[in-house]
Amino acid sequence: MLDIGSIHRTEYELTGQSESVVIAEAPGRIHYLGEHGEPKAGLYLSSAIDRYVRVAVSLRKDNSLRFYAADLGERKRTTLINLKYKREDRWANHIKVAIHVFAGMNYPVKGLNFTIAGDIPQQVGLASSTAIEVAAAVALRGFFSAGISDKELLSRLTASSRVFFGKHISALDYLVAFSAKKGYFLIVDEAAMEVKRIRSPFSKYKILIMDSRVPRMGVEDELKERRQDLKRGLDLLSQKKQGLSFRDYAAADLIESMGDLPEDIRRCCLHVVQELCRVYEAEDALKRPDLPALSRIILHSHESLRDLYEVSCPEIDWLVKRAGEIEGVLGSRMTGQGFGGCTYTIIAEKAIDEYRRRLEDYERIFGFHPLIYDVRPAAGAALVKQVKK
């Protein structure tokens, strides 16, 4: 990753001994199981990944807020009085969310310089935007020597982001960013906002994220329709058997309700109920560890996303199927919003060359050049250092 401290000092011409630069980082994340579950009450198998965003902050002599994206060579600016969402500010809007948090707590936010750099793949469902907000918030916490816990900072970031972007923002990705630990998977309970850590048993395997490069159109409308189906399904289920969420139901309840639920709604609900079970089963398999059992769980999860929830696509299904045919692949599945996007594959190092060879067939058949990222379960957000010349 770029030397963000030196870049920051050069960009803002900081030469004085007293001109300190505070740097923090936050990771991307991946969900292995649990995506497309019940809104606000999901259960996930996740981890942070060892790709990060770093944010540097220093004091200005005026009241301007300056932002520099070192990877892009882009600059943005605003002032505290004009601190609001602007579509054209793109990545800088996420730094503004963190500024909004500390301004709201009456910290002396006046003139500040920010520099951002990172290596998280963007717009493929790996929480790069959340990482910017968390890294900026942790940097500002260090800059102001603020006595605010991770838990409180998480809560304030979530609330600030909702106000700033004018829509519901889940606290899930913030929770992963603050709770992650190097070499550990996370069982994340969104309803209770709790995390359990499980040490990774994959010392002999690598995790590859593969960006299919499939263009995604109309994804939000499709996902909104499925969320509405889940709400309608839960309402109908509650008429027969009282329950507050899908965790109160078993697959048998959905089978018994075949005549009461429209088929498309029943399929969506069945995916959610079964996926909840798969997360619990995966937790057990990781703890034992039972890698063949985990392999079956990952396969069944992808089949469910394909056949019941219907958020996969031919290109992703091809990639998952071909990966599963390779000796040394423990499991492969789509991850992210679906309709394209990424797969992850847990694979023995000896099988990677064959995996890459299969991707040459993918490009020839579908015409998209895929990108591969090697990742590991990584540590969460942290203050990196306070740099002085």
pLDDT tens per residue across span 288-312: 999 999 999 999 999 999 999 999 9
Residue range 353-376, pLDDT digits in tens: 999 998 899 999 999 999 999 999
Query: 163-189: per-residue pLDDT in tens?
Result: 989 888 889 999 999 999 999 999 999
Q: What's the total number of domains in the chain? A: 2
- The answer on 169 and 118 residing in a single domain is yes
pLDDT at 345 over 60: yes
State whether 62 and 195 are in the same domain: yes
Considering the domain architecture, whether residues 269 and 334 belong to the same structural domain is answered as yes
Residue 229 confidence (pLDDT)? 93
210 and 187 together in one domain: no
- Residue 68 clears pLDDT 80, i.e. is over it: yes
Cα distance between residue 265 and residue 248, in whole Å: 17
- 8 with 71, same domain? yes
Task: Answer with the residue of higher pLDDT: 242 or 68.
Answer: 68
User: Do residues 166 and 228 both lie within one domain?
Assistant: no
Same domain, 243 and 270: yes
pLDDT of residue 244: 83
Query: Is residue 173 among the annotated active site residues?
Result: yes
| 128 and 23 within one domain | yes
CATH of the domain at 212: 3.30.70.890
Q: pLDDT averaged over the chain?
A: 93
Marked catalytic residue, from 71, 89, 173, 361: 173
Same domain, 218 and 189: no
Domain that holds residue 292: 205-375
Same domain, 54 and 172: yes
Tokens of 320: 């998952």
Give the confidence band of 17 by pLDDT, cuts at 50, 70, 90.
low
Confidence band, pLDDT 50/70/90 cuts, at residue 18:
low
Residues whose CB is less than 8 angstroms from the CB of residue 28 and which lie 6 or more positions away in sequence, other chains included: 48, 49, 51, 52, 53, 120, 121, 126, 127, 128, 131
Q: What is the pLDDT of residue 256?
A: 75
pLDDT tens-digit series, residues 147-166: 999 999 999 999 999 998 98
Residues 240 and 356 in one domain: yes
pLDDT at position 16 over 70: no
- 79 and 117 in a single domain? The answer is yes
Closest by CA to 136, choosing from 66, 53, 21, is 53
